[in-house]
Amino acid sequence: MPQANVPMLSVRSGKFRRYHRNKILNIIDPTTIFKNARDLSKFILGIFDSFKIIKEEGPDMVFLKGGYVSLPFGIACRIKGVPYFIHESDVIPGLANRMLLKGAQTIFVSFPTNHYRDMPKDKLVYSGTPVRKDILKGNRDKAYEIFDLDSDLKTVLIICGSQGAHAINMLVYEGLKKYLEKYQVIHVAGDYDYDWLKFKTKDIKNKERYKLYSFMSGELKDAFAVADLIITRASNNVWSEMAALGKPSVVIPNESSANNHQLENAKAFSREGAAYVMLQSHLAPEKLFSQVDKLLNDEEELDYLKEKVHKFYKEDSADIIADNLIAFYKDTLKEEGKGEKKRSEKSRQNKGSTE
């Protein structure tokens, strides 16, 4: 943020770790109880951090992206009467957004509104998820050079996130010899499994076809561009980028994610014919490879997936959000004179502090 010349203020917060379906077990779990207690104090302090920012900055409205960092600020907004808007990336809202739904002016959502249950329909706006423009600038020809790939072979891109998805990494590793007999693989394995995979694959046959990374940033756009098929989780960030680029995928949701949000996301993709969804609990290395192999040899099916997934992409997603915020200011705050009053007060404060 500072590198992009965007002013940044910090708010303390903490997450509530939930690794069980039973609510009571989540509270008394000895492996998380002390971490949760520690983070509860951070969360309370974060509300006071938020009060201070609201007082000093005098915002006309607040946009909250969701996640536990948003919660203390959202609660402070409700107490102080500051209008706030939230964005929900998943079909099932996270705990923070569930607590903020009632007081939100508008709830921007990533999926068509018919996918959402138990949410105030009159507040929902289908905005999609903004995608950074850089991801759209990948170059397939350049990617062959960057990753030292063979242009005559099809490419499988596996994305497991920054920390990794161990189950997917295991499934790929155990079937890797078969993949490399016919295809080439770009594997973003995450930090946890990178060293292990690097050691285990150092002498694998056709090793020149296997490109292993722990994390990928600037090169990701080119990895997307060269990928004929993607294997990934059902997190909204990667999904939004695949939708923007129209990339076919095999999605393996994390079935232990909070509120089963990845599984519900995957169901939404599957209902629209936008991805092949395979459940981790029913998956074996041979079964995953068989599905990948079948898809990569069926151009008609790949084209169908590309078409369906691209329908989830809203090119004007950021504009939809911005336009709604501006319209609210013009129609509500400006009419009441609140915006001018707040800025006038802040101007006097800044002038006084400067003098």
The per-residue pLDDT for range 43-69, each reduced to its tens digit, is 999 999 999 999 999 999 999 998 888
Reference 66, options 105, 110, 97; nearest CA is 97
Q: Specify whether the CB–CB gap between 190 and 169 falls below 8 A.
A: yes
> What pLDDT does 184 receive?
98
Percent of the chain with pLDDT over 90: 64
CA distances from residue 355 to 346, 350, 352 in whole angstroms, order as listed: 14, 9, 5
Encode pLDDT of 253-279 as tens digits.
987 666 678 888 888 889 899 999 999
CATH T-level topology, domain 2-128+315-342: Rossmann fold (3.40.50)
CA distances from residue 269 to 32, 92, 136, 202, 272 in whole angstroms, order as listed: 33, 14, 21, 36, 5
- Point out the least confidently predicted range of 14-28, 116-130, 245-259: 14-28
Encode pLDDT of 190-248 as tens digits.
989 999 999 999 999 999 999 999 998 889 999 999 999 999 998 888 889 999 999 99
Phi, psi of 153 (to 5 degrees): -110, 150
Mean pLDDT, range 316-339, rounded to an integer: 85
Residues facing residue 186 across a β-bridge: 157, 211
> What pLDDT does 258 receive?
61
- Point out the least confidently predicted range of 114-118, 239-243, 249-253, 325-329: 114-118
Q: Which residue has the higher pLDDT, 20 or 175?
A: 175
> What pLDDT does 101 receive?
94
The C-alpha atoms of residue 71 and residue 68 are separated, in whole angstroms, by 5
> What pLDDT does 22 receive?
57
Mean pLDDT, range 302-306, rounded to an integer: 97
Q: How far is CA 342 from the centre of its chain?
A: 34
The C-alpha atoms of residue 98 and residue 66 are separated, in whole angstroms, by 9
Domain 2-128+315-342 and domain 133-310, same fold? Reply is: yes
CA distances from residue 107 to 57, 92, 261, 264 in whole angstroms, order as listed: 23, 13, 17, 18
Q: For the chain, give every domain's residue range.
A: 2-128+315-342, 133-310
**pLDDT band at residue 347, thresholds of 50, 70 and 90?**
very low
> Which residue type occupies 58?
G
Reference 165, options 135, 194, 199; nearest CA is 194
- Point out the least confidently predicted range of 21-30, 126-135, 243-252, 304-313: 21-30
CATH T-level topology, domain 133-310: Rossmann fold (3.40.50)
* Cα end-to-end span (Å), the chain: 29
Q: Specify whether the CB–CB gap between 183 and 256 falls below 8 A.
A: no
> What pLDDT does 312 receive?
92
Query: Does position 307 have pLDDT exceeding 90, yes or no?
Result: yes
**pLDDT band at residue 355, thresholds of 50, 70 and 90?**
very low
Give the pTM: 0.83
Q: Which residue has the higher pLDDT, 254 or 169?
A: 169
